[in-house]
């Protein structure tokens, strides 16, 4: 009898130990009162969250996946998050065009001076510069970008227009000139890209109304011809970039070792380290998870490699986060719609009141919970 009781006691201890070490995303979120109000409106706000725990062992890297309110066919406007794949593919372009490197001077047809791919990518990650994105858009063209993303197994991506310029969806891209051996050389011609077909997924028609040419039009806004970058595709892009060995060769981004290292480092650099005025561009300017609601300097041991996007009330962050003190690593991707009046293009969105504070607290909550799990396991 004593033996049976002893065995039962041991089993209960082991079960309790396993319970302490377990991590459930939904339970973790619901236990946080600061997240509660938004979580109650998860469907209305199109809140979707993907989380990957990253564990390293002798066999390599393993992933543990978590999802919250994830709807793969539910559209949200990706805004500037589309700049991440364009930056990666611009670096890959250098690898496949042997005359060109990421520091070869180039200019598009409307430029008066030369720049480099690296300079434009720095602007994209430091302050989410739209002109830098549009410059790479002209260099690569949407047909090439869309084709390359499909080759990588990232089908739920569609680049159809430039950002924040008139006539953003003009199909023809301009020519680009590279400066090679101190001589101007045309390496890309003007290209007529494919016509854009309306997206055939849920939720591309949204809201009650929208502004066009300063006039309020009281009918839903149509996003079906806009860019698409589904949440899983964003998440997978980050995983392929930072953990390529977990994927077959044809699904990896083909970057030189030096370009890949430079790109990863650039993704986590802060605006002040690249010469931007810290009063205007604080550390959290485009780092929403953990620190988005703070203007203080970020701690040096937290490295956030990410790309945010916000427009039309859609707010998204896609990040690989590493805590160098504890060794914790995870990939977090989330999107939320903060447009309470359901009018688009009126610039009346709740980014600062609801969206960014939520993403910041979301990041802190997951960081804390995963560190606690890590501690209990060691």
Q: 8 lies in a domain? A: no
Residue 231 placed within a domain: yes
* H or E element that contains 242: helix 231-242
Indicate whether 41 pLDDT > 70: yes
- Check: CB of residue 64 under 8 Å from CB of residue 55: yes
Beta bridge partners of 303: 322
Measuring CA to CA, how many Å separate 219 from each of 12, 102, 226, 337, 375? Answer: 60, 45, 17, 18, 53
Q: What is the pTM of this model?
A: 0.93
- The pLDDT-based confidence of 249 (bands split at 50, 70, 90) is very high
Quickly list DSSP for 23-56: --HHHHHHT-HHHHHHHHTTTTTT-EEEEEEEEE
Q: How many domains does the chain have?
A: 1
218 contacts: CB under 8 Å, gap ≥ 6? 208, 209
Rg (CA), the chain: 22
pLDDT level of residue 4 (50, 70, 90 thresholds)? low
What length is written for the chain? 378
Measured in whole angstroms, the distance separating CA 32 from the mean position of its chain's CA atoms is 24
pLDDT by residue (tens digit) across 62-79? 999 999 999 999 999 999
Summarize the confidence of residues 187-191 as an average pLDDT.
87
Q: What are phi and psi of 157, to 5 degrees?
A: -135, 135
In which domain, by residue range, is 201 found? Answer: 23-377
Question: Quick one: pLDDT at residue 157?
Answer: 98
Whole-number pLDDT of residue 375: 87
> In terms of C-beta density within 10 A (0-12 exposed, 13-18 middle, 19 or more buried), how is residue 159 classed?
buried
pLDDT of the residue at 116: 98
Give the CATH number of the domain where residue 144 resides: 3.40.710.10
Q: For residues 207 and 344, what is the distance between their CA atoms, to the nearest angstrom?
A: 7
Residue 296's pLDDT is: 97
Q: Is the pLDDT of residue 210 over 50?
A: yes
- Is 12 part of a structural domain of the chain? no
Query: Can you name the residues that pair with 206 across neighbouring β-strands?
Result: 221
Residue 10 lies in a domain: no
Asked if the model's pLDDT at residue 11 lies above 50, the reply is no
- Round to whole Å and give the CA distance between 324 and 331: 15
> Who contacts 186 (Cβ-Cβ below 8 Å, separation ≥6)?
175, 176, 177, 178
Query: What's the average model confidence in pLDDT over 5-10?
Result: 44
Which residues on adjacent β-strands are paired with residue 8? Answer: none
Domain assignment of residue 373, yes or no: yes
CA distance 355 to 334: 11
Long-range CB contacts (< 8 A, 24+ apart) of 250-259?
Answer: 250/151, 250/152, 251/152, 251/153, 252/152, 253/88, 253/89, 253/91, 253/92, 253/152, 254/92, 254/95, 254/96, 255/88, 255/91, 255/92, 255/95, 256/94, 256/95, 259/91, 259/94, 259/95, 259/102
Element (H, E) at 336: strand 329-337
Helices 117-127 and 83-96, packing angle to 10 deg: 160
CA angle 171/124/299 to nearest 5° reads: 155
Is residue 4 included in any domain, yes or no? no
Phi, psi values for residue 64, rounded to 5°: -120, 120
User: How confident is the model over 165-176, as a mean pLDDT?
Assistant: 95
């Amino acid at each position: 009898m004593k033996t049976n009781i002893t065995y039962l006691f041991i089993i209960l201890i082991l079960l309790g130990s396993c319970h302490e070490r377990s991590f459930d995303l939904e339970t973790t979120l619901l236990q946080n009162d600061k997240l509660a109000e938004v979580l109650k409106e998860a469907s209305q706000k199109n809140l979707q969250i993907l989380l990957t725990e990253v564990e390293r062992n002798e066999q390599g890297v393993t992933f543990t996946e978590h999802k919250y309110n994830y709807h793969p066919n539910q559209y949200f406007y990706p805004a500037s998050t589309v700049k991440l794949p364009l930056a990666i593919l611009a670096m890959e372009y250098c690898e496949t065009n042997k005359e060109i490197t990421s520091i070869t001077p180039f200019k598009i047809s409307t430029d008066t001076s030369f720049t480099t791919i690296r300079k434009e990518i720095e602007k994209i990650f430091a302050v989410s510069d739209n002109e830098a994105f549009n410059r790479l858009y002209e260099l690569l063209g949407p047909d090439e970008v869309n084709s390359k993303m499909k080759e990588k197994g990232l089908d739920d991506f569609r680049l159809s227009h430039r950002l924040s310029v008139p006539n953003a969806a003009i199909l023809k891209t301009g020519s680009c000139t590279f400066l090679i051996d101190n001589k101007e050389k045309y390496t890309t011609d003007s290209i007529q890209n494919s016509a854009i077909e309306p997206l055939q997924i849920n939720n591309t028609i949204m809201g009650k109304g929208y502004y066009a040419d300063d006039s309020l039009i009281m009918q839903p806004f149509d996003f079906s011809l806009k860019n698409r970058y589904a949440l899983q595709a964003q998440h997978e892009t980050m995983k392929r970039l930072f953990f390529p060995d977990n994927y077959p060769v044809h699904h990896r981004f083909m970057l030189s070792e030096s370009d890949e290292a430079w790109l990863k480092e650039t993704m986590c650099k802060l605006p002040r380290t690249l010469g931007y005025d810290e009063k205007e561009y604080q550390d959290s300017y485009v780092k929403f998870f953990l620190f988005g609601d703070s203007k203080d300097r970020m701690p040096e041991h937290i490295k956030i490699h990410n790309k945010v996007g916000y427009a039309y009330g859609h707010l998204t962050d896609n990040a690989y986060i590493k805590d160098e003190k504890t060794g914790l690593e995870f990939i977090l991707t989330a999107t939320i719609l903060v447009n309470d009046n359901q009018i688009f293009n009126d610039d009346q969105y709740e980014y600062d009141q609801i969206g960014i504070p939520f993403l910041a607290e979301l990041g802190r909550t997951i960081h804390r919970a995963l560190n606690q799990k890590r501690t209990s396991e060691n």
